């Protein structure tokens, strides 16, 4: 490799040790503190619970750790799906690839945080989780800097030149990043650019056409207009810096995607049709409203929280974040309140998210891409995936995909679905987005049970007054059938302990619903009220 390295390249010293047992394997930097090394080996998941959450994705959690005055980033990749475990049985996990690739680039002087350790835990021949520890760099992502910062021209020029230097160095090493989005470039307070998320990089033996095409996709991902919506002119500065490098001409020649973004200047103004408002209906969601708002603040052009008369301090949390809040009373029609909020939205598109949901970065990029390329649909359905104690459920039938969450501001009417208003649009011109929203359940099992029992009891009362009845045989059969269907027939067992917990909670909901119907039918006063209600209404 020495013949490829320019004279200005600064080599970094990094020595790695290895350790393996029946249930786990670990590689770590020899300069890692001994007590932290021991904690990582004995209980890596315990360290994850002690950290400050930075990101939560469908199968990945990232936290910030403090240890004896030093700060680290700790990343956990869950392999709860048995299919994923089988796939990774004979291949490297995300943590292992991250450690290997980060060590390789760090030693060659690429500006990336120093890798510290990776751990893999196994269950028999299958890998269960992988962890990756790096130094923490006080910084902001390039995407967030463009969205919320106001860098001057000189700073933008410096950032663009550093990005071009990194791309040139990767070209010399014949390395493709394969995920070079603006979120994977950090800018520290001194203006230095850092490259992160290296688990997907690929090394090539020569500057072949497949390498150029992969490199072209990296450049197109970086220069995509979604990264520069708040400052489109900055994209042109980065483009010009890349064009000054010697590899740019060959890249344009051999990659159609690179030619699209490097070959011509992009518009310096946003199309107003690409802008959207995030509506967040909320009722007593104090534990989750902050994380919900944080998940959309980077991509939203406007955020409106619609409080349906909360009494747990939800409004105060929203106000402290400086987010617009529309207040409604607990007795008001929730559909009418949300309709008023929709009319106050400033942008032509609405993205509706419930207060106990989180927008993952992949879905955020998909929403922006959909609006950028002149959508032909009037609305898009977005599914939801429940998250139970940090594990996203993929099986058991708990995922939903029937809600229209991204839609034009003047489309359709709202109707109540499980106590919250959802859009009921015309059947035509409705599309589907691939990614899903993550629905968080209460962290406490007691709170989870209380919430489910309350919801199923209220639903049973409504069903009773509509004429629905139940019996003891139906109660036993329907609750048992719910568990068998979710856990066995719909493969809930593939989600591990989280799947078992979710299936038991679903059985509890069904049992509570049917038991409430039986109780209401045996209560004379309620029975008389139910019989006389239609007459009195008439």
pLDDT at 439: 77
| Residue 419's pLDDT band (cuts 50, 70, 90) | low
pLDDT at 319: 84
Distance CA 348, CA 325 (A): 19
Region of poorest pLDDT, from 114-118, 179-183, 297-301: 297-301
Q: Which residue has the tokens 């890596």?
A: 44
Question: Residue 29 in contact with residue 15, Cβ under 8 Å?
Answer: yes
Tens digits of per-residue pLDDT, 81-101? 666 666 666 778 888 899 999
| pLDDT surpassing 60 at residue 489 | yes
Question: Residue 45 in contact with residue 61, Cβ under 8 Å?
Answer: no
- Using CA atoms, how far residue 99 sits from 120, 122, 421, in Å, is 11, 18, 46
**Beta 357-358 vs 430-440: how paired, if at all?**
antiparallel
For 140-262, the fitting CATH number among 1.10.510.10, 3.30.750.24, 3.40.50.2000, 3.30.479.30 is 1.10.510.10
Question: Residue 381 in contact with residue 402, Cβ under 8 Å?
Answer: yes
Question: Counting Cβ atoms within 10 Å, is residue 430 exposed (0-12), middle (13-18) or buried (19+)?
Answer: middle
Greatest Cα pair distance in the chain? 92
| Residue 413's pLDDT band (cuts 50, 70, 90) | confident
Average pLDDT of the segment spanning 339-367? 86
| pLDDT surpassing 60 at residue 468 | yes
- pTM beyond 0.85: no
pLDDT at 296: 86
State what percent of residues in the chain have pLDDT above 90: 23
**Of 4 and 227, which is predicted with more confidence?**
227
Instruction: Report CA Rg, the chain.
Output: 26
**Of 259 and 267, which is predicted with more confidence?**
259
pLDDT at 3: 35
Distance CA 340, CA 342 (A): 5
**Beta 302-307 vs 276-282: how paired, if at all?**
parallel
| Residue 313's pLDDT band (cuts 50, 70, 90) | confident
| Residue 410's pLDDT band (cuts 50, 70, 90) | confident
Question: Hey, where are the domains in the chain?
Answer: 2-135, 140-262, 272-440, 445-537
Secondary-structure breakdown of the chain: helix, strand, coil percentages, each rounded to the nearest 5: 45, 25, 30
| Start-end of H helices in 149-305 | 153-173, 209-223, 232-243, 247-254, 256-262, 286-296
| pLDDT surpassing 50 at residue 369 | yes
Tens digits of per-residue pLDDT, 139-196? 999 988 888 777 888 999 999 999 999 999 999 999 999 989 888 999 999 999 999 9
Yes or no: is domain 2-135 CATH 1.10.3470?
no
State what percent of residues in the chain have pLDDT above 70: 88
Half-sphere exposure of residue 178: CA atoms within 13 angstroms, side-chain side: 14
Question: Residue 219 in contact with residue 248, Cβ under 8 Å?
Answer: no
CATH class of 272-440: alpha beta
Average pLDDT of the segment spanning 423-427? 77
Residues found in the chain: 538
| pLDDT surpassing 60 at residue 116 | yes
Domains 2-135 and 140-262 agree in fold? no
pLDDT at 161: 94
Region of poorest pLDDT, from 11-20, 107-116, 182-191: 11-20
Tens digits of per-residue pLDDT, 393-409? 878 888 776 788 898 88
Q: What is the 3-state secondary structure (H, E, C) of 471-514?
A: CHHHHHHHHHHHHHHHHHHCCHHHHHHHHHHHHHHHHHHHHHHH
State whether the Cα torsion 16-19-20-23 is positive or negative: negative
Question: Residue 184 in contact with residue 196, Cβ under 8 Å?
Answer: yes
Tens digits of per-residue pLDDT, 377-390? 888 888 888 877 66
Burial code (b: 16+ CB inside 10 Å, e: under 16) for 352-375 equals bbbbbbbbbbebbbbbbebbbeeb
**Of 372 and 305, which is predicted with more confidence?**
305
């Amino acid at each position: 490799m020495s013949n490829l390295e320019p004279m200005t390249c600064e080599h970094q010293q990094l020595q790695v040790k290895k350790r393996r047992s029946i249930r786990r394997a670990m590689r770590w930097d020899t300069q890692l503190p001994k007590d932290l090394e021991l904690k990582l080996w004995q209980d890596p998941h315990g360290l994850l619970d002690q950290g400050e959450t930075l990101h939560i994705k469908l199968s990945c959690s990232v936290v910030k750790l403090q240890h004896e005055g030093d700060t680290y980033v700790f990343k956990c990749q869950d392999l709860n799906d048995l299919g994923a475990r089988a796939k990774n049985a004979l291949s490297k996990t995300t943590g292992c690839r991250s450690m290997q690739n980060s060590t390789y680039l760090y030693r060659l002087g690429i500006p990336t945080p120093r890798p510290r350790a990776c751990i893999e835990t196994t269950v028999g021949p299958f890998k269960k989780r992988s962890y990756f520890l790096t130094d923490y760099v006080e910084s902001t992502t390039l995407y967030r800097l463009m969205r919320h910062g106001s860098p001057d021209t000189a700073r933008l020029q410096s950032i663009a030149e550093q990005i071009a230097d990194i791309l040139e160095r990767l070209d010399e090493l014949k390395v493709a990043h394969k995920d070079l989005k603006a979120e994977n470039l950090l800018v520290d307070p001194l203006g230095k650019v850092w490259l992160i998320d290296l688990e997907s990089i690929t090394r090539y033996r020569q500057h072949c056409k497949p390498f150029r095409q992969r490199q072209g996709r990296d450049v197109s991902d970086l220069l995509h207009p979604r990264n520069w919506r708040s400052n489109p002119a900055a994209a042109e500065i980065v483009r010009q810096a890349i064009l000054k490098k010697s590899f740019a001409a060959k890249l344009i020649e051999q990659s159609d995607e690179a030619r699209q973004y490097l070959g011509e200047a992009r518009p310096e103004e946003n199309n107003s049709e690409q802008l959207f408002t995030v509506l967040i209906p909320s009722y007593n969601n104090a534990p989750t409203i902050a994380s919900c708002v944080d998940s959309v603040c980077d991509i939203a052009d406007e955020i409106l929280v619609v409080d349906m008369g909360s009494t747990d301090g939800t409004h105060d949390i929203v106000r402290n974040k400086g987010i617009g809040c529309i207040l409604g009373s607990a007795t008001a029609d929730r559909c009418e309140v949300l309709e008023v909020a929709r009319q106050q939205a400033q942008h032509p598109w609405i993205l509706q998210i419930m207060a106990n949901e989180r927008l993952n970065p992949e879905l955020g990029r998909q929403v922006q891409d959909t609006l950028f390329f002149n959508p032909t649909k009037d609305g898009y359905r977005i599914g939801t995936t429940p998250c139970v104690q940090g594990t996203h459920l993929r099986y058991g039938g708990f995922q939903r995909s029937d809600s229209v969450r991204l839609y034009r501001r003047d489309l359709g009417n709202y109707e109540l679905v499980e106590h919250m208003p959802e859009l009921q649009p015309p059947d035509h011109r409705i599309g589907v987005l691939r990614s899903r929203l993550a629905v968080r359940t209460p962290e406490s099992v007691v709170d989870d049970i209380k919430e489910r029992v309350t919801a199923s009891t209220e639903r049973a009362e409504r069903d009773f007054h509509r004429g629905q009845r139940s019996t003891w045989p139906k109660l036993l059969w329907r609750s048992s059938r719910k568990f068998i269907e979710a856990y066995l027939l719909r493969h809930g067992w593939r989600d591990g302990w989280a799947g078992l917990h979710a299936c038991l909670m679903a059985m509890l909901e069904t049992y509570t619903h049917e038991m409430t119907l039986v109780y209401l039918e045996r209560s004379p006063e309620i029975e008389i009220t139910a019989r006389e209600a239609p007459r009195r209404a008439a």
